[in-house]
Structures are given as C-alpha cells and as structure tokens.
Amino acid sequence: MARNERSPLLLTVRVAPARQRYPHNTLRRFCTIALSASLVAIFILFLLPLAFFPSDISPYLPWEFPYPHRDWPRSYALPYDELQDILMSTPNEEQVKEWSEYYTSGPHLAGKNFSQALWTKDRWQEFGITDTSIVSYDVYVNYPIGHRLALLEKKGEKKEEPTKDNWVVKFEAGLEENVHKEDGTSGLEDRIPTFHGYSASGNATAPFVYANYGTHQDFEDLLEADISVKGKIVLVKYGYIFRGLKVKRAQDLGAVGVVIYSDPGDDGDETEEKGVDTYPNGPAREPSSVQRGSVQFLSIAPGDPTTPGYPSKPGVPRQDTQHSIPSIPSIPISYLDALPLLRALNGYGPKASSIGKSWEGGGLGYKGVEYNIGPSPDGLLLNLVNEQEYVTTPMWNVIGIINGSLSDEVVLIGNHRDAWIAGGAADPNSGSATFIEVIRSFGKALEKGWRPLRTIVFASWDGEEYGLIGSTEWVEEFLPWLSGSAVAYLNVDVAVSGPHFKSAASPVLNRALYEITSLVASPNQTIAGQTVRDTWSGHIQTMGSGSDYTAFQDFAGIPCVDMGFSVGPESAVYHYHSNYDSFDWMDKFGDPGWRYHVTVAKLWSLLAAKLVESPLIQFNVTDYAVGLGRYLRSLENEASQSLEGIADENNGGELRDLFDTTFAHLKRSIKKLRKAAIELDTYATELEERLGEDIPWWEWWKKVKLFYEVKKVNNKYKYFERQFLYPQGLDGRSWFKHVVFAPGLWTGYSGATFPGLVESIGERNWTNAKRWSRIIDNRVKLATELFG
C-alpha cells in the first residue's frame, strides 16, 4: 500500500544507537558523590557544632581564630617545661647579693626614696620589662623632728607641779642605736631616728604603769585588777598584736602616752642571758636595738588616713584622721632604755605573774627587773616628748607590665621598697632583691620569644611601712579594672629573716603552693634531695594584715599569697625595723651564702608561671569550701564557751536560738557550696585532661568548644572570691569588705575569719550576730550560684 499522509505510523523505523549525552559518565558520578559528601561534611564539621556554641558565635568560627595565641593550649613559642627551666636556673646568689647591697646602702624612708624608684624602674627595663612606669600619690605622713624620754625624781616632800627646781632627771633615755664598725650602715650620718609613723606630737609628764604586751585582754586584766591607766603613760612590750592597736586601746582608756620596747624574753634561745654574744659579735639581740614602725589603726583602715576608700591624688577631698591614727604621743625604745623604767617599778603594784599566765615571762629578770605593774611611786614621773612634722608628700610605685595574650586575666606580683632605716635587708629588701631576680628570670624567657598567656603586672610599692599606702591607693584607683581582670596577687614582703618557710594564702591557692614548693630544693636539707615542701610543716595561715596583700584580699576580693623564710626559736635574732636589719647582719647571720634568697626567687617565679601559663586557672575552690566549714566549727566552739558563761542570764536562750538557726543555716549553705565546688573542680580536672589530648584539625569544633568551656570555668574561678565582698563593709570599719577574712579588730596582723559574726558574738550582741549570719549566708549562696 502506497503511503500517504493518512497512513498510520505503525511501521518500525530503524534509527542509529542513542548517543550518550555526557562523554565522561564516570567522572560525572564521582563529582556528584564528592559534592554531596562535601555538603554532608560541611554540615557535620561546621554547621552542626554551632549548636553547642553561645548565641553569639562569631568569635568561635574557624576563620576568626578565637584562641589567645597560635600555640594554645600550650605555651607560646616556649614549652612550659623550658620556661620552668629558665625560671629555676636564672636566679643566683651573687646577683641577689648585689641587689641587696644596693637597696640597703642608704636610707629609703617612704616618700624619700625617689632615686631608688628610678633605679628599680631602670633595672626592670634593662631586663626586658619595657612597659614600666612610676605612679605617684600625694600622701599625708609624718617625719621625726625630736623626742625625749626622761625619768624624773621629786626633790623634797611637797606636792606640786613638776618644774626644773623641784624635780630632777634620774634617767635620760638615749633613744639612739649604737654604732658598730662591723655594721657599715649603723653609723651613717643621715640614719633615720627612732620614731613611730603616724604618732601624735605631744609632751606628757605623768606616772607610768607596765601593761605587758598591751593587748586588749591585757588592758581588761588591768581594769579587773583595779589598776587604771587614765592620766598615765603606759609601758608595754612589742609582740602579739600590731603596735598601733596597743596605742589605740591605751588612748581609749585615757592614757596620755605609750612607750613600747623589745623584750629579749621573746627572742627564743639566742639570748645574752643564755650566754650568747650580742650582735655584731654574736646572734643575740643588740641591747640598744629599737623597733620603729607605724601606729596607724591598721585594723580600721590602711592607706592614706585622709582618703579612706579612694586614691590620694592631688586635689581630692581630705578627711579627718581622728578615727584612724592616735591623738596621744608614743615612742619606741630599746630594752637598754627600758631597764631603768622597769626597775623603778620594782615593788610597786602587783607582780605581772600574779595577773595571769599570759603575763608570765619576760627576759630581763637577770638584769634586776621584777616586772611589777605599778603605778610608779609618787616620787617618780615619766616625761615623754614626741615632736613630729606632718606633711602631704609624693610617694612612688613602680609598675611594670608584660602584656599577655589574655588582657582580661591578670596575675599581679608585688613587694614594697620603703624601709624605716638605711638597711632593711630582711624587711623589705630581701623581697626587693629577690624581686629583681624574678624580673630578670622572666626577661630571659622574653628573650627566647616567650609571651605569657595572661598579663603580668609587677609592682614595687612605696609607703607600705606607714600603712600599706602605695598598694592601697593603687588598688583604690584601679578597682574597676582589677575587679574585672585580676586572677591573683602574689606578695613577698620579707623573703628571708630566718630558715623556716612560712606562708599565708587564700585557700583557693593552697594546692598551687604545695605543688610549687615540691619543685624547689630546700636550702636547709637534713636529707639529701629534700624540697621546700619536705622541710615545711605545710601549714598555710589565713590572710590577716600587715603587708601589701591587704587591699587586694580584703577590699577587692582578689586571692592572695604571702610567703618567705622566717625566724624560729633557734635562729639568730632578727632586729625587726632596727638599724641592725642590715646588709652586714644578713650576710653574717640572716642568710650567709644567700641561698634562701635564691630559693624564694624560684618559688615566686614558678608560682607566677603556674598561674599565668596554665590554660585553666590553677585554683581549687573545694579547699575554700572546706575551709569555710572549718572556720564555722571553730566559731561554734567559741560561741559555745560564751553560752556556758551566760547560761544563767536572760539572753542565754538567745544564744541557743543562734545555735539552732544561725549555725544550722550556715552549715547547710556551706555544704551546698562544697558540693558545687567539688563538681566544678572535678569538671576542671576533666578539662585539663582533654587539654592534653591532640585534636586533629578536621575536628576544629572540638578545640573551639574546649576553649569555650575553659573560658567559662576560668570566669567562675576568677570571680569566686569577689562573691564574699559585702559592699557596706564591716561594722565600724567599712573599708574592709570581705565577710570571710579580715585582720582581727584588736590584733591587726593575724587574720580573723567571719569577722562580723565573731565580733558580734564577742560583744554578746545577738541581734547583730543574726544579722551577720544572714549576710554571710547570702554571700555563700551567691558563690554557689556562680558555679551553677
């Protein structure tokens, strides 16, 4: 059939084989699979991990490089063990001896040591701390003009006012330390007179009494014995409490003056009475030695007394000083000058030993002293003259900075530079000389290309001796920055005065101290290879006051350490704040060979490095919580004794209520804090283990997440101690903000725990005790919430 347009298309039409659309089909399949796999990998490696990050993820994206430096979590450019080797090998005896000889070669009283500040700045810059400057404050202080102490004897029997005609001088105190050719600085023309910082000018002539150590309890004992100090001059021994609080209590009770001397009965085994030669021939106390020092009311507020709570810069308002420094004159004397006064009391009033056990002792019995209390007989008076010039003058802190990769985490290291004397070989310049070696050690690391993870601030303070002035004013000025950035402050005041290692610290730093002291060889080994930790009891004191950590710990809530080698009963007598705290004494008796100085330099550097370089801040908050429990148990025992004393009084029931409610609440809160602290420390330990693992580059998100977790834990550690600050401060001394630690109200040096509560119970003010228990409870809960 012929085909036309109507023919159906039913026939098979032969065509050529189908041509492939793509000539490389295998390649196409490979590309499709690879692209799909890449999208899945991107999702898994880059998008899915973002679910674990905070809402603002931009800093954590891989191209943003969120880490502090390229080598994180390892040290930058220099392995940590190599950094430790540098810090251990750099300090040496010859260098530290050279620095000590410079610092102790002439007077460097606070506000009069600008050349030393410049020298310190120059040395730091020479050793690599290029960002070093001098920060000054205008401070209200006194300088000595004149003084006198004379025992006056009455002529005749008439009762009349003392005059040159009817009273004669029976004894005139020298008020001067002897010059010895064996002690090069004891005879300097410009040596500093014996005086008290912040003592009042005055001229008092009055009977006198002996009041043991002049503690609050000693004065209570006198009142109970019906011996009044009103209108009298009080003679007391140095020791047990801060000297300014001896003067304060005497002033409160109406005394007109205070004389303080150093009794050799407190000098341990090395005394003249026991046949030991006195300095410079032997290690016993030089009889004319005098302890200078401040009589500021240190437990009320440190720093410039005219600017409490704010820095003493030019033009700032100045406050009245009546609540922070004495209004009656006081002077320090030697036991050589005290002997005639003490002998004059023989047979008058009760013997000290009859008052109580704490009054027993005294090392001048072999010199004819019977330690009677007095008052002095009618025919004897004591004339005390103290003339001081009060001025507002600059003081100079030297501040050096090594900027770290983290600017919001800062470790501070400090020592004060000023001294009451030309020497100060122990206080403070054993610390100052050691500090130069610390600086030199970190400078060596900088030369190797090292850069710290955290920022380091070095501080050489002025004015510590008068009342912790340089450090206090600096903390008050930079408080906002410190509150947001400071991790810890490491203080060394007296690095070496004897052979026994001692320390005080916030409990969060206890374990770090134990670890570091286990790394450094002890300079007084009894068995070869012993470390400092091996020869140390391991006891860490609570923080009190008396050195530059006070403003950091008690005002700013920054964990602190203070450490050094101190005297023991068998040690050469340390002539504290005397001309004989000299380079020659240190070289002959304090640290012959200068090994203890070098040991402290190593400990200080290594502790700083541990806190600076470890990705996780090396705190242990469990120790802090355990400490709180221990402090509370101790307080319970004290309160229990108070309860026994007033069991028959009406308010005995109130104290029982305090036991039932206050202590129960605090125990529960501290228990919860301890549980949260254990969890945080355990988590930090796990993080530390993960930091040691190698993370391959394609699991970048694990490293970023780890960094974020570390940062979060570090913030909790950093801000932990700040939770215990109470903005209104302690009752009657509002400068002190810490509810756990403060100097004892009537001790000054030694630390008190839960001071607000302790003082309320001591005063039997149960209403205020309950108030303080609520305040403390709230602070403990804030710390617990921080860990949530």
- Reported as a single tens digit per residue, the pLDDT across 730-758 is 999 999 999 999 999 999 888 899 999 99
pLDDT higher than 90, residue 639: no
pLDDT higher than 50, residue 7: no
**From 177, 272, 464, 613, the catalytic residue:** 464
Task: Identify the weakest region by mean pLDDT among 313-317, 602-606, 617-621, 636-640.
Answer: 636-640
pLDDT tens by residue, 268-289: 999 999 999 999 999 999 999 9
Tell me what pLDDT residue 621 has: 98
Q: Give mean pLDDT, residues 129-141.
A: 98
Q: How far is CA 676 from CA 208, 510, 545, 621, 711, in A?
A: 57, 19, 30, 9, 18
Unique residue bearing structure tokens 């109406």: 254
Tell me what pLDDT residue 746 has: 93
Helix orientation angle between 595-613 and 80-89, rounded to the nearest 10 degrees: 160
Before 428, cis peptide (omega within 30)?
yes
Q: Report the DSSP pairing between strands 167-172 and 406-416.
A: unpaired
Tell me what pLDDT residue 474 has: 98
Tell me what pLDDT residue 766 has: 85
Tell me what pLDDT residue 647 has: 53
Give the confidence band of 10 by pLDDT, cuts at 50, 70, 90.
very low
Tell me what pLDDT residue 76 has: 84
Query: What span, in angstroms and rounded, lies between the C-alpha atoms of 688 and 693?
Result: 9
pLDDT higher than 50, residue 11: no
Cα angle 685, 603, 437; round to 5:
135
Q: Give mean pLDDT, residues 203-211.
A: 98
98 is catalytic: no
Tell me what pLDDT residue 692 has: 85
> Which pair of tokens denotes residue 352?
């000290």
Residue 326, judged by CB atoms within 10 A of its CB (0-12, 13-18, 19+), counts as buried
pLDDT higher than 80, residue 9: no
Give the confidence band of 241 by pLDDT, cuts at 50, 70, 90.
very high
Q: Give mean pLDDT, residues 115-121.
A: 98
**Within a 10 A sphere around the Cβ of 721, how many other Cβ atoms?**
27
Tell me what pLDDT residue 45 has: 54
> Which pair of tokens denotes residue 622?
């469990």
Strands, E assignment, 184-309: 196-197, 202-206, 208-210, 233-237, 257-261, 293-294
Largest Cα separation within the chain, whole Å, is 174
Give the confidence band of 637 by pLDDT, cuts at 50, 70, 90.
confident
Query: What span, in angstroms and rounded, lies between the C-alpha atoms of 287 and 264?
Result: 9
pLDDT higher than 80, residue 35: no
pLDDT higher than 60, residue 210: yes
pLDDT higher than 60, residue 13: no
β-strand partners of 540: 503
Q: What is the rounded average pLDDT for all residues in the chain?
A: 92
| Residue type (1 letter), 144 | P
Tell me what pLDDT residue 629 has: 96
pLDDT tens by residue, 42-79: 655 555 555 555 555 555 555 566 888 888 888 888 99
